[in-house]
Amino acid sequence: MENIFKILKSYSSLGEETLKDGTILIGKAPHIAPMAWLHKIYPGLSTAEIGTLEKELGAKIPVVFKDFLQITNGLSVFNTTLCIYGLRKNYIRTIENVWQPFDIKTPNLYERPKGSKENCFFIGSYFWDGSKLYIDTIDNKVYRCSNNSSKPINMWNSFPDMLKVEIKRLCKLFDKDGKAIDGRIATTPPKN
């Protein structure tokens, strides 16, 4: 995670703010909205919070993702171009509470793509087309699928590999100010 944080923090020249709860906002993005930020790193969860989340999900969280959640409770990269889900602690509509990850419970309990087997643990999504990411709890590989089918479009050997590869790839699609170099180019990975 250290290398990933280093890449995201390379946009700190545009601004960085740490909120009271530990959320780190990186790269002011006024070209998107007056209070928009390029990257959001949410504070990690405690062991107790992860245990409660597993009970609510009715499933074990893959170890590699559990480790991730202890470091950071989700990520938002290039203003939701790529989101890694976490535990949303509340839905209070105040400025202090708005900076939270997309809730990991939604895709795993309420909006699972068709044909999703129990071994599909959904962890993130791409804004461009709404495609989702999941860890297969049998082989521990990460797959991208469409919003309405769990049929794989892309595959990475591990969650850390996927994060590193995808964040580096996305950095090539945005300039030093965090603006899309060509807004017509899909920000999802090419099919493999």
Asked if residue 8 is part of any domain, the answer here is yes
Q: What is the count of structural domains for the chain?
A: 1
Asked if residue 31 is part of any domain, the answer here is yes
Asked if residue 29 is part of any domain, the answer here is yes
Going 104 to 105 to 111 to 112, the CA torsion angle's sign is: positive
pLDDT on residue 125: 98
pLDDT on residue 147: 94
Asked if residue 176 is part of any domain, the answer here is no
Contacting residues for 128 by C-beta, under 8 A, at least 6 apart: 81, 186, 187, 188
| Contact in structure between 105 and 56 (CB atoms under 8 Å) | yes
Asked if residue 185 is part of any domain, the answer here is no
pLDDT on residue 96: 67
User: What span, in angstroms and rounded, lies between the C-alpha atoms of 136 and 59?
Assistant: 13
**CATH code of the domain in which 98 resides:** 3.40.1580.10
Residue pLDDT tens, the chain, 192 long: 889 999 999 999 999 999 999 999 999 999 999 999 999 999 999 999 999 999 999 999 999 999 999 999 999 999 999 999 999 987 777 666 678 999 999 999 999 998 899 999 999 999 999 999 999 999 999 999 999 999 999 999 999 999 999 999 999 999 999 999 999 999 999 988
Asked if residue 189 is part of any domain, the answer here is no
Asked if residue 192 is part of any domain, the answer here is no
pLDDT on residue 98: 78
Asked if residue 184 is part of any domain, the answer here is no
| Beta strand ranges found along 105-159 (DSSP E) | 120-126, 132-136, 142-146, 149-156
Phi/psi at 151 (nearest 5 deg)? Answer: -60, 125
Tokens read off for 136: 């297969």
pLDDT on residue 89: 87
Domain that holds residue 101: 2-171
Alpha helices in the chain (DSSP H): 2-9, 47-57, 63-71, 105, 159-171
pLDDT on residue 93: 72
